Structure 1
Amino acid sequence: MLKVEAPINAPVAEHSNTLSSALRDGHIWIVIPCYKVRNHILRVIEKIPAWIEGIVCVDDACPENTADFLEAENPDSRLVVVRLPQNLGVGGAVLAGYVEAERRGGRILVKVDGDDQMDLTFLAQLVAPILLGEADYTKGNRFSSISHLTDMPRVRLFGNAALSFAAKVSTGYWNVFDPTNGFTAIEASMIKLLSGRRISQRFFFETDLLYHLGTLRAVVRDIPIPARYGDEVSNLRVGAIIGPFALKHLKNFVQRIIGQYFVRDFNVATMEMMFGVGFLGFGSIYALRWFAVRMPGEDADAGLVMTAALPVIVGVQLLLQVMNFDVVNVPNRPIHPYLRTLMKLEGD
């Protein structure tokens, strides 16, 4: 049975009959990147429901020879094993799996980690918005309920909260949270649009993919899904990724602002941004210059204070307006139905 929680109760219930049929005929494939998960991978495959059409396991030059292990065990007739000659990271492995699954006829591609942290009873919830034409990409969100956070280690809890806000700013998806969540689903027609793009292939993959989806104006939806933590060992070291992640977020933010507000469009928010930065910069520089040249003990008069403060206040207000425009400008019309129609017309 379909497992559903708020806030997606109503949409799924409305289309329950359509969804039941679509799950069987939806050409849904699972993609599992495999690197040091040999002790868990068979449990993951055993839990994949029968309505999944195929499974692609990508051996990312795993030192545990996961590909040989899977081929020897042959746990599922739907299984396809892909071997990468060198380690590409989780992103590189997932992209290779996407290409293989799409080549074999997959229409919706679900990325699942091989460490058995993800509850596969939520698979139907994850793919439902795409099947119903309401989203191009869905992802799990462990922060949708306090009960989902009880088992999350405190370091991961605070780290993910900080990364979530940074991702909102850099990707423009203010409606999503938990950007590093690896339990995701994507409509296969999006893969062709993403091919050739320089998507980060390491631990920044999920967040960088969101940025590139944003440049396509794809619709992304969060699905409430709790995580599970057991005896798995994470390959991610928080201290080692803080600096690189911050730089990548800054780079994506600058590229997004230039592309969205100066290249692909030029609107009222662009004007507010230009004047806001100008006023804020003028007021700040004027005040700093006065502090640099003032005599010891000299006090600023009212005119000087207002000359510095008023532009700063106006600049901040204009930039807050830009932020508000950016928040309400989140994509809300899925693009994959149009891509599918276009592909069909080109095929005819």
Structure 2
Amino acid sequence: MPRFSHDTLASGLSLQLSLLEYLMYRNKKVSVVVPAFNEETQINRVIDTMPEWVDHIVIVNDRSRDRTSEVVRANAVYTTGRIQLIEHEVNQGVGGAIATGYKWSRDNGIDVAVVMAGDGQMDPADLPAILDPVVDDEADYTKGNRLVTGEAFQKIPKIRFFGNSILSLLTKIVSGYWHVADSQTGYTAINAQALEAIDWDRMYKRYGQPNDLLVKLNVAGMRVVDVPIEPVYDVGEKSGIRVRKVIFTIGSLLVRLFFWRLKEKYVIRNFHPLVFFYAFGFFGVALSAIMFIRLIALWIGLGHIPEITFLSWLFSFSLGFNSLFFAMWFDYEENKHLNPPLRSRDVRARKRAA
């Protein structure tokens, strides 16, 4: 009979405990919120590929017109009680479905709530990478970033890639999370503290929900980290997004959110002089636009530009540009601690381990 040293036995026991802890996902109770609207052909793929250590799969049927609920109930996992199927009586949009799942997670003692779409576009292999910064207390909220992978431009439809890039740039300014990109991704994880901090009943309920949430998280002082993930397309999904319409809808939402964040964070909760720089900046830009129109009109009417008109335009433009630059710089510095860099980790190794 082979004999083992004390160190060997201790090492084996430690490995067993480590494996057990991993299967429970490091002693954290995890739910995956799945907003679903007309996903009868895709929902089984999401359920069947879900890692075993996910405690609850919270599927929110947002008043689907197909057999989404019937397909979920027919899945073998449903009989285990691991699936929580919530039915909306009125369609609330993807943001409303996510909010419902978040509220269930908050009220049922979930440590980390993840969002994965019901169309199978989110790779379960990326789930450990999404969870780890929250579990390790690096962040209160993590979100996938599809734009940083080398194949993003080839995999993502071009109009979506450019639309997402524009919205991501605007969301940096609006939310205060200057290192966050791919603002429209729905692959996210949020901890219990952030779940408690946000009023989900007042969350924007359509496709602008990720932008709205980032702004609310910033005002609440929550840390946000981007995690590189692989974009997944052409798995049978059918998108209901109309990019041109969404850009204008979310664009107007971003304007409202920007001024709301300035008011809440830098006027009401803790005054900061950057509001003056933003005020001077917007005043200068507006004045320079008026002066530029006058400059063009005089050029056309007189054949030349009076020096005083040109100097007035140059002064107002310089005032506006420099004021906006300093305001954004102050905002960047004020929020740097809420957007920490992702610690070095081998994401591919995490995928293999999963």
Contact 1:42 1:75 in 2 (8 A): no
The CA RMSD measured in Å over matched residues stands at 2.7
Shift of 1:112: 0.5
1:245 aligns with 2:250: yes
Deviations 1:212-243 (A, max 9, x none): 11221211111000121122111111133232
1:138 & 1:51 partners in 2: Cα distance? Answer: 19
Q: State whether residues 168 and 183 of structure 2, in contact with CA within 8 Å, keep that contact through their aligned partners in structure 1.
A: yes
Correspondence for 1:57: 59
Tell me, yes or no, if the aligned pair for 1:148 and 1:225 is still in contact at 8 Å: no
Q: By how many angstroms is 1:36 displaced?
A: 1.3
Instruction: State the Cα deviation string for residues 259-314 of structure 1 (Å, max 9, x = none).
Output: 33333333342333334444555555556567768994274454553344234323
Establish whether residue 267 from structure 1 lines up as the match of residue 272 from structure 2: yes
C-alpha distance in 1 between matches for 2:241 and 2:289: 40
Letter in 1 for 2:265: Q
Cα gap change, 1:163 to 1:275, in 2 (>3 Å): closer
Say which SS state the counterpart of residue 310 (structure 2) adopts. Answer: helix
**2:335 counterpart (307, 312, 330):** 330
Letter in 1 for 2:276: M
1:46/1:284 Cα in 2 relative to 1: closer, same or farther (>3 Å)?
Answer: closer
Give a deviation string over 1:114-163, Cα, whole Å, max 9, x none. 11111111111101111111111111100112224422111211111111
State the AA in 2 paired with 1:37: E
C-alpha change, 1:222 and 1:301, in structure 2 (3 Å) is same
CA contact (8 A) 2:23 2:53 kept: no
Decide whether the 8 Å contact of 2:24 with 2:53 is kept in 1.
Answer: no
- 1:187-198 mapped onto 2 (5 Å cutoff): 187-195=191-199, 198=202
Q: Among residues 27, 32, 35, which one is paired with 1:33 in the alignment?
A: 35
Return 5+ residue gaps in structure 2 as ranges: 1-17, 340-354
Structure 1 pair 311–19 and aligned structure 2 pair: CA distance change class (3 A): farther
Please tell me whether the aligned partners of residues 149 and 226 of structure 1 are also in contact (alpha carbons under 8 angstroms).
Answer: no
Which structure 2 residues correspond to residues 23-172 of structure 1 after superposition, within 5 A? Answer: 23-76=25-78, 77=80, 78-172=82-176
Decide which moves more: 298-307 or 37-46: 298-307
> Identity of counterpart residues, as a percentage?
29
Supply the distance in 1 between the matched residues of 2:135 and 2:335 (Cα, whole angstroms): 21
SS of the residue 1:168 aligns to: helix
Query: Secondary structure of 1:332's match?
Result: helix
Task: Classify the secondary structure of the residue corresponding to 1:58.
Answer: strand
Please report how far the alpha carbon of residue 190 of structure 1 lies from its aligned counterpart in structure 2 after TM superposition: 1.8
CA distance in 1 between counterparts of 2:74 and 2:291 reads: 72
CA distance in 1, matches of 2:22, 2:337: 25
Quote how far apart the aligned CAs of 1:175 are. Answer: 1.0
Between the aligned partners of 1:18 and 1:163, the Cα distance in structure 2 is 42
Please give the secondary structure, in 1, of the residue aligned with 2:25: helix
Distance 1:263 1:157 in 2: 37
Q: Could you say which residue in structure 1 is the equivalent of 2:180?
A: 176
- Matching residue of 1:319: 324
Amino acid at match of 1:323: M
Which runs of 5 or more residues in structure 1 are unaligned?
1-15, 335-348
- Residues of 2 paired with 1:113 and 1:214: CA distance? 24
Pair 267,101 (structure 1): closer, same or farther in 2 beyond 3 Å: closer
Mean Cα deviation higher: 158-167 or 132-141: 158-167
* Offset of residue 329 of structure 1: 2.5
Name the CA distance, whole Å, in 1 between partners of 2:185 and 2:131. Answer: 15
* TM-score, structure 2 normalization: 0.81
In structure 2, relative to structure 1, the CA distance for the partners of 1:25 and 1:287 (3 Å cut) is closer
SS in 2 for 1:106: coil
Does structure 2 conserve the Cα–Cα contact (< 8 Å) formed by 1:19 and 1:132? Answer: no
Between the aligned partners of 1:314 and 1:17, the Cα distance in structure 2 is 60
Kindly indicate whether the alpha-carbon contact (under 8 Å) linking 2:130 and 2:188 is maintained by their aligned counterparts in 1.
yes
Q: Match of 2:57, as an amino acid?
A: I
- Residue 38 of structure 1 aligns with an amino acid whose one-letter code is E
Distance in 1 (CA, whole Å) between partners of 2:241 and 2:39 is 14
Q: Cα 1:295–1:28, aligned 2, differ >3 Å: closer, same or farther?
A: closer
Q: Kindly state the Cα deviation for residue 200 of structure 1 after the two structures are TM-superposed.
A: 1.2
Query: Pairwise mapping of residues 200-211 of structure 1 onto structure 2 (< 5 A)?
Result: 200-211=204-215
Which amino acid in the other structure matches residue 51 of structure 1?
W
Which has the larger displacement, 276-285 or 27-36?
276-285
Change (3 A) 1:25 1:302: same
